[in-house]
A = this chain, B = another copy of it.
Amino acid sequence: MSESAKPRTAREIRSAARRDAIIDAALEEFSFQGFAAARLDDIAKRAGVAKGTIYLYFADKETLFKELVRAMLTPLIGQFEALAKTDIPFPLLAERLADVAAREVAGSRRRDIIRLIIAEGPRFPEIADFYYREILSRVFAALQTILTRAFERGEIRHRGLVDFPQLLVAPVLIAATWSSLFEKQAPLDIQALLKAHIDILLDRGSAS
């Protein structure tokens, strides 16, 4: 989870493990309670460390929050950009993207990060900034490449998708929030939802 160079000594390994444990616990607490309501006491307890220990790894609550977001999102982007570079037919690519999205979204942790960013973004402009700069802008740049190519090849029929790649990912966002909030009331089959989405975009499997 930590993006820095692999630690070598026993102490460094334990230290990195602790840092990760704190980040994990923080994700759990922050995403359930929100930033303000989460208590460092609870995070410490969940991470199995003393309250003061958190301050050996993070300057304060806010820094912990920002590091958490950074740690969760950074690994995503490389994986995604790699996928964008492959020159496979769009229908195949779309299905792979849907697969990854469904798994990443279903994996409760990443879904909660998305919720956290939506929830706390206005109060932490740096978070929104970071997220836009490091993640969104790169994701959308890659998407635009993919979609332009697909449109030129005739794999998709609508310019609108090229202009608004948001339309491609919108169902992922709704799936993430829906399953986060209404799982109890009305569970959602994310895989099927995304499949239907792709079918519509590719205009296949229609009608009868």
Contact = CB atoms under 8 A, between A and B. Distances in A.
B36 A181 contact: no
Q: Which of A118, A131, A192 has the most CB of B within 10 A?
A: A118
A137 B132 CA distance: 33
Given A34-B123, A158-B205, A200-B200, A118 B166 contact: no
A118 B118 contact: yes
Given A161-B200, A167-B197, A181 B121 contact: yes
How many A residues touch the partner, as a band? 35 or more
Contact of A118 (B37, B177, B184, B199): B177
A166 B174 contact: yes
Contact of A115 (B119, B158, B188): B119
A119 B117 CA distance: 9
Interface in A127-174: 128-129, 131-133, 136-137, 154, 157-161, 163-164, 166-167, 169-171, 173-174
A83 B202 CA distance: 30
B32 A35 contact: no
Given A170-B173, A185-B132, A118 B115 contact: yes
B192 A164 contact: yes
A180 interface: yes
Given A36-B37, A158-B205, A174-B169, A120 B119 contact: yes
The 10 closest A-B CB pairs, nearest first, are A160-B196, A119-B119, A36-B36, A36-B37, A170-B170, A157-B206, A170-B174, A121-B181, A132-B185, A170-B171
24 contacts: A32-B123, A34-B34, A34-B35, A34-B119, A34-B120, A36-B36, A37-B123, A115-B122, A122-B181, A128-B182, A132-B185, A137-B186, A159-B208, A161-B196, A163-B196, A164-B192, A164-B193, A164-B196, A166-B175, A166-B193, A167-B197, A169-B174, A170-B171, A200-B201
